[in-house]
Amino acid sequence: MDFNVAFTAAHEALPYMLGGVVWTAGLIVGAMLLGLALGVPLAVLQVYGPRSVRRMVATYVWLFRGIPILVQLYIFYFGLLAWLSGLPGLTGIGLDSPFVAAVMVLGLTSSAYQSQIFRGAIQSLPAGQLKAGRALGMTDGQVIRTVVLPQALRLSIPAWSNEYSILLKDSALAFTIGVVEIMGRMRAIASTTHEPVSMSFVAGIIFFVLTWVGVKGLSILENKVRIAGYTRQGAV
């Protein structure tokens, strides 16, 4: 391995690999939002729902936490979505796109993990908070919206930033079903240039920087919504 050659190759490949960041970012943003949109109601249902609903949520969480991302990608992309997109009325709406499959898999899995983060935060709130809201004549829905969730979501941010870095790393698996994110581009260019060492270093550095940027961003968010004296006690 010649360092000059390796460096030149890495330098030439950089713009192409950085182009993958757009796809990686798309995967993460899509998955985090999907995970948030499903995770919050799942957590609320798992804490306050009737027993049968709590069981259903627990089963959902068990399923998505127990099956490897790679296997889920295969199930969704080669299995479920391939089949669905062949059904009349469902063709041509992008169900067979690898990107859609990857966002779904990452987002659903994330919703399972996020629901447990929020559940932990909700359960860490003192019971008196709920009682005080009810004593003022709030409905349970009002108590959850105005008292429980604003506190629970704040407590969840540290764990949430961890969830971001997990999603970022898992998103690299989307290349296996053909999403041209960073890892996919790295693999392609490594095999054409025969420079896998420098290419994996470049990819590693890009991921490393993305992790750092995201974690930093979330800690800024945490400070923004911080409330005097409000501690992270109970956050997972």
Partner 1 sequence: MSIPYFEFLRAELAPGLLDGLWVSLIVIIPSALLGAFIGLTAGVLRVYGPMPVRKLAEAYVSLFRGTPLVVQVFFWYFALPYIKFGGWSLVLDPIPAAILAFGLCSGAYQSEYIRGGLNSIKRGQIRAALALGMTTRQAVMNVVLPQAFRRALPGCGNEIIYLIKYSSLASIITVNELTGTATTIAKNSWRNIEVFCTLGVVYLLLVTVATWLLHLLEDTLSVPGFERPQE
Partner 2 sequence: MSQHSENTPILEARNLIKVLGGNRVLDSVNLDIGRGRVKVLIGPSGAGKSTLLQCLNFLTPPDSGHILLEGREVNAGSKKELCSFRQQVGMIFQDFNLFDHLSALENVRVALMKVRGMSKLDATERAVAELKRVGLVDRAAHYPANLSGGQKQRVAIARALAMDPKVMLLDEPTSALDPELIGEVLTVIRALAQGGMTMIMATHQISFSASLADEFIFMEKGRIVEHGSPAELLGKGVGSRTQAFCAKISELTGEADGEFRS
For residues 72-131, which are near partner 2 according to CB under 8 A?
Answer: 126, 128-129, 131
Distance CA(115)–CA(35), nearest Å, equals: 8
Outline where 75-181 has alpha helix (H).
81-84, 98-124, 127-135, 140-143, 149-171
Residue 121 in contact with partner 1, rule: CB under 8 A? no
Q: How far is the CB of 171 from partner 2 (least distance, A)?
A: 32
Q: Evaluate the CA torsion angle 179, 182, 183, 185 in order and state its sign.
A: positive
**Three-class secondary structure of residue 232 per DSSP:** coil
The binder of partner 2 chosen from 147, 159, 186, 218 (CB under 8 A): 147
Residue 120 in contact with partner 1, rule: CB under 8 A? yes
Cβ neighbours for 146, distance < 8 A, ≥ 6 positions apart = 133, 138
Q: How far is the CB of 140 from partner 2 (least distance, A)?
A: 8
Distance CA(63)–CA(119), nearest Å, equals: 17
Residue (4 or 231) nearer to partner 2, CB: 231
Distance CA(219)–CA(157), nearest Å, equals: 8
Place of tokens 């829905």: 141
The binding track of 139-178 with respect to partner 1, each residue x by CB under 8 A or -, is --------------------------x--xxxxxx-xx--
Structure tokens at 47: 């804490």
The binder of partner 2 chosen from 54, 134, 169, 232 (CB under 8 A): 134
Interacting residues with partner 2 (CB under 8 A): 126, 128-129, 131-139, 142, 146-147, 150-151, 154, 227-230
Tell me which residues touch partner 1 (CB under 8 A): 1, 62-63, 65-72, 74-75, 78-80, 82-83, 116, 120, 123, 165, 168-173, 175-176, 183, 186-187, 190, 194-197, 199-200, 203-204, 207-208, 211-212
